[in-house]
Structure 1
Amino acid sequence: MKNNVLFKGNKEVNVSELLFFTSYSIYLIFALLELTEINPSRTLFGIIRIITFLIILFKLFLYDSKSLKFIFSFFVLLFISYLTARNSGNFALVDAVILIYGAKGISFEKIVDVYVVIATILVVIITLLSIMGFIQNNITVRNNVYRSSFGFMYPTVYIACITYIIIADLYNAVSKHKNLIIRYFIYLLVSLYSYIFCNARLGTITILLTIVFGMYAQHYLKVKKMNKIIEFFIHYSFTIFTLISVLLVYMYIQSPYNSFLSNLDSLLTGRLYFSKMGVINYGYSLFGQKIPMVVNGSGVGSLAAGNTQAYFFIDSSYMNIALCYGIISLIIICLAFNFLNGNLLKKTYSILPIFLFLVALNSAIGEQMSQICVNVFLLAFFSLHDNVDFKNGWIIE
């Protein structure tokens, strides 16, 4: 490995970190803007993707491990993600693979700090521009309740971004043993804001659960012990919620008039129904397929009015990945998180698996798990801080 440190004045500059954070920051800004009404051109974002890819490749081969296993796994997953992109028309998994491997050897705490700062600034700016009328505020109606998106394409996307910022911020705050009273108060206010102005039930509940999980993480850091049953569910959380999601959809297909499933579907605002229709109309594939989604902003209101043809979107991350990106991608994601959680629970006292459980739970309903510009926790696999005890293992070599 070549020297990874340069001297600038009297300060050392970590070239590997500089390359990663430069590419990640640029990508994050443009990827988040694509979720807003600003929505930069596809050509420009495509150029940003290419630049990100080239910088990450330069970092990987010049400064990172020359392990054949590491390089081989990178190109295998890059090829699989390319197949899903070609078949589905969405490059989300390609972006994820490139940035996940690019984060090798970078402190996950630093990654989270950068993500929280950039994402928070962007969300605040877009919100203010929307309030001042410079950006369109899309308003949808659900059960006669108006839901504002504040400059983002949809209220659910807006609140999902805020939710992941809060989860990431609290993760780092607990890790650094900060005083959390003020944070908890702010989170409560944000959850109230989420419900009143966006009627985002998933986001509101997840933010409240984040506070509960933060308290449990604090307790875990003190006692260094975890109940075996809780540990099992945390370890296999992504696989468990995947199986639950797939099983519920299968049961709904087999028993479309089941009262429990119908009530659950109503509570989930038709998410089971659309996942069911996705399976019936398109079926599962190995490496993804193109599934046209109708997300015109009025879908939820139309759904409440009984017009299910005006809107079609598969919200559950697990069902979305299984149908759009393919079963192979879903299996790889579940195995990767199982491996990460298992190693962290057995070899360290990391609180990361506790927060990953919250991400896994949220992903059963929300569709942002595979969006690396929203879900910063995807970057934990090869980052240094939480995997420091695995230097001789698969994570860091």
Structure 2
Amino acid sequence: MLKEKFQKIWITKITGQQVYIFSLVLYLFFAFLQNSTFHAYLGSRPFNLVSYLVVGLLILKIIFLDDYSSIQRGIIFLILILAMISWLNSKSNLIIVMMAFILSGQGVSFREVVKYYYNVTLIIFAVVVTSSLLGVIKNLIFVVKGRAIRYSLGIVYPTDLAARVLYLLLAHAFLNFEKLNWKYYFSYFLIDVILMKITNARLSVLCILIMIGVLIIAKRASNHPDGISRLFVSMYWMAAPILSFLAIIATYFYDGKNHIYTKINHLLSGRLSYGSLAFYNYKIPLLGQKVIEHGLGGNSGLRIFHHSNQGYFFIDSSYMRLLMIYGLLMLLIVIGIIMTISIKATLNKNFVLPTVMLIVVISCMVEQHLLELSYNPFLLALLTSCKPINHRVKGKFNNE
């Protein structure tokens, strides 16, 4: 009997979706812990090893389990090679991991991806928060003059905690879009109020409020084919090129002597000035460069914080990070991916996906989480299917 069970397991066909979901869950687990104060016990080595393992598995999926034409496969491996060069130059593996997941998505249900993302990250999030409240790991607390006390609850920084909640709510809204009503919107609002009290993270709190508004518009677009709401949603794809351009140009021309610039920079907690410093200290690379940063996250960041931010330097905007760390080519590729996802979803009358992407694009103007899969799973929608599927889809890039 036992022998028969082993034989059955041995001859069971492994599907591309199984490889993909296994890789996703494995990576999410270690990536989430890497961004928590559990990092003090684990270090970076397990996360890096898992990153390389996952990239290897996904490349094997592309080679042996996906069905692409020669041209499509050539394009995929060209982008992967460019991402690998960017990774080697920047010494940051986020770009190769994200590209591997994006480009190996054929034959995978995007809804399943978001479902696993939501369930796995929610469970780990609960464990991390509980561990911090019980004193198992540190709950880093930041006190800023003129602002409320900010708690991180086991995450490396309060704004990262707020971003965690934002992306979890986006995933929840995506999965429950058909059922969304005022009860859901009100619960999102209550979570937003509590989040503001705990983190005082203004951007993510504002993004959640905007999220509620655009979800209402998306629901109207789904229910009224000829309404103005559908016109609004159909233009969301333009947000990525416009807002990324504005974020980079505003940073490039930042002038500390300009009164308006100074006000905006103050509202953004100095992000424009630090981004401008990146332009001053580094050239714009084509395919990545190593940028030395010292952020406020974690124990080392808390020490910088308690020394009046002496030595602090961090590029917050995801678009600035793409440009200055991963290179101009990677910036253009990622913006193209975002636009493609939104356009294809709109054409397929899937109005929740471009709505979610709009919030991601807005948040990433001043936050760094665009390439961090444990925050943002929505770039994986490029080649995955928005309908549950149980078989491989042959010979085409699909997002149906």
Both proteins in one fold, TM over 0.5: yes
Identify the residue that residue 286 of structure 1 maps to in structure 2: 286
1:181-200 matches, cutoff 5 A: 181-200=182-201
Unaligned stretches of 5+ in structure 2?
A: 1-6
SS in 2 for 1:236: helix
Let me know the Cα RMSD of the aligned residues. Answer: 2.8
Structure 1 position 32, deviation (Å): 0.8
Report the residue type matching 1:143 in the other structure: K
Identify the residue that residue 360 of structure 1 maps to in structure 2: 361
Is contact 2:318–2:367 with CA below 8 Å preserved after alignment? yes
Structure 1 position 299, deviation (Å): 6.5
1:1-397 matches, cutoff 5 A: 15-39=15-39, 40-144=42-146, 145-174=148-177, 177-225=178-226, 227=228, 230-231=232-233, 233-252=235-254, 255-297=255-297, 307=308, 309-385=310-386, 394-395=397-398
Identify the residue that residue 3 of structure 2 maps to in structure 1: none
Structure 1 position 345, deviation (Å): 2.2
Going from structure 1 to structure 2, the CA distance change for 1:38 and 1:352 (only over 3 Å counts) comes to same
Is contact 2:83–2:99 with CA below 8 Å preserved after alignment? yes
Report the residue type matching 1:208 in the other structure: L
Is contact 2:111–2:175 with CA below 8 Å preserved after alignment? yes
Is contact 2:103–2:383 with CA below 8 Å preserved after alignment? yes
Is contact 1:142–1:300 with CA below 8 Å preserved after alignment? no
Report the residue type matching 1:222 in the other structure: N
Deviations 1:149-182 (A, max 9, x none): 11111111111111111011102211xx114444
Is contact 1:92–1:371 with CA below 8 Å preserved after alignment? yes
SS in 2 for 1:310: coil
Aligned residues: 383
Is contact 1:103–1:382 with CA below 8 Å preserved after alignment? yes
Going from structure 1 to structure 2, the CA distance change for 1:309 and 1:250 (only over 3 Å counts) comes to same
Going from structure 1 to structure 2, the CA distance change for 1:303 and 1:44 (only over 3 Å counts) comes to closer
Is contact 1:20–1:56 with CA below 8 Å preserved after alignment? yes
Range that drifts further, 141-150 or 275-284? 141-150
Is contact 2:287–2:328 with CA below 8 Å preserved after alignment? yes
Deviations 1:235-274 (A, max 9, x none): 221111111111211231xx33111111011011101111
Is contact 1:143–1:304 with CA below 8 Å preserved after alignment? no
Percent identity reads 24
Going from structure 1 to structure 2, the CA distance change for 1:69 and 1:281 (only over 3 Å counts) comes to same
Range that drifts further, 188-197 or 271-280? 188-197
Deviations 1:349-393 (A, max 9, x none): 4431121111111110111011122101011001111699x9876
Q: Give the distance between the partners of 1:62 and 1:394, measured in 2 at CA.
A: 16
Going from structure 1 to structure 2, the CA distance change for 1:300 and 1:361 (only over 3 Å counts) comes to farther
Is contact 1:235–1:341 with CA below 8 Å preserved after alignment? yes
Structure 1 position 100, deviation (Å): 1.2
Q: Give the distance between the partners of 1:279 and 1:251, measured in 2 at CA.
A: 10
Unaligned stretches of 5+ in structure 1?
A: 1-6
Is contact 2:386–2:399 with CA below 8 Å preserved after alignment? no
SS in 2 for 1:272: helix
Report the residue type matching 2:326 in the other structure: Y
Q: Give the distance between the partners of 1:236 and 1:194, measured in 2 at CA.
A: 30
Structure 1 position 302, deviation (Å): 7.4
Q: Give the distance between the partners of 1:300 and 1:341, measured in 2 at CA.
A: 38
Report the residue type matching 1:57 in the other structure: I
Is contact 2:289–2:326 with CA below 8 Å preserved after alignment? yes
Q: Give the distance between the partners of 1:386 and 1:342, measured in 2 at CA.
A: 17
Is contact 1:299–1:312 with CA below 8 Å preserved after alignment? no
Deviations 1:110-134 (A, max 9, x none): 1111111111111111001101111
Going from structure 1 to structure 2, the CA distance change for 1:226 and 1:22 (only over 3 Å counts) comes to farther
Is contact 2:166–2:208 with CA below 8 Å preserved after alignment? yes
TM-score scaled to structure 2, two decimals?
Answer: 0.88
Deviations 1:263-322 (A, max 9, x none): 0110111011111111111131111111111114486997899x5643211111111111
Structure 1 position 99, deviation (Å): 1.1
Structure 1 position 63, deviation (Å): 2.3
Q: Give the distance between the partners of 2:227 and 2:366, measured in 1 at CA.
A: 27
Structure 1 position 394, deviation (Å): 4.3
Q: Give the distance between the partners of 1:43 and 1:303, measured in 2 at CA.
A: 26
